[in-house]
Amino acid sequence: MTGATRPAVTASPRAVTVGPMAARVQLRRLAHARSGDKGDTANVGVIAYSPEAYAFLRHALTAERVASHFAGMIEGPVERFELDNLGALNFLLHGALGGGGTVSLMTDAQGKVYSTALLRAELDVPEDVLATVPPKR
């Protein structure tokens, strides 16, 4: 789909611009992630592979987008925190762990798979952003 005429909002490290769309790709193409728990809240950190990918994710990976991705899996709101110095976003998924590790009967009561699940989210990513990250493996 390279060179598609559909415009997309893209972000450079300092500004948001409009450019050609490259493809719909999974978040794992732009970042890696880690997750864990605090009580009934899953904590998911998303760390971008490049400054350009981080700038794009600051625009595209909103708390609302993450909440939509986990619809039906979490009971509470999603909070997002920006860690500019790390090129990372941190999400708190409230009501995600069935009460927490010590009381939950969930298979993953510590929320370790939420990072992998979020990395499966699909985003429309501009060509110039994809060009700044390592090639997919």
Domain boundaries, the chain: 28-121
The pLDDT of residue 105 is: 41
- pLDDT-wise least confident of 12-21, 24-33, 49-58: 12-21
Q: Is the full-model pTM beyond 0.85? A: no
Q: HSE of 13 in the Cβ direction (CA atoms, 13 Å)?
A: 9
* Structural tokens at position 17: 């611009």
* Among the ranges given (12-16, 57-61, 63-67), the one the predictor scored with the smallest mean pLDDT: 12-16
CATH fold of the domain at 28-121? Alpha-Beta Plaits (3.30.70)
Q: How confident is the model over 37-60, as pLDDT tens digits?
A: 777 788 899 999 999 999 999 999
φ/ψ of 36, rounded to 5, equals -165, -160
Q: Is the pLDDT of residue 11 over 90?
A: no
Cα–Cα distance list, 8 to 17, 113, 115 (Å)? 8, 30, 26
